[in-house]
Structure 1
């Protein structure tokens, strides 16, 4: 199917993602943003994380380096309890608008979701 996708001009055709496809889609989106929309964009640092790591990012306000405080652990346990009981889902991605822009993507996302977020 990947051959069909490249012959038809599609960037991908399968729901499963890999780093090569993710990079190719990002380059195409970045080219549209710069060349057609004339946007100024920062370089993107993509991080693929698990649901447990996303819960950890929630509790530390998404910052990669953050001071330690007991309230972050309390917030983590609360978010984890809600997630495990099905009371709350997780975000598909978390973005820190910095230079470079840090993007945390969930490993459970399909390729279409990875491209959209």
Structure 2
């Protein structure tokens, strides 16, 4: 299989750094799967939580966040891999604050639904 152009840049890194980068990628994927599972469970079993349209919107929000994280996981992995191969600093990311804010909003909505049934 032909390797992408960016994999031919720089020099081959120590395999430990590549494997650590891969573990980070897999952690992002696990987080996305957990969010997707949470959205599915909410949609299927949370009919007593609040109004059905709100539950559907929350479940879809979890799914959209999960889909976004899968894309971000790959782009972060690739960016880190290029930085490791070329000896540059690892790129910064806006993802952690954005994910935290999105999950905070979803949590507040769920808390309000639980407090005021």
Question: TM-score, normalised on structure 2?
Answer: 0.26
More strand by share: 1
More helix by share: 2
Larger Rg: 2
Question: TM-score, normalised on structure 1?
Answer: 0.26
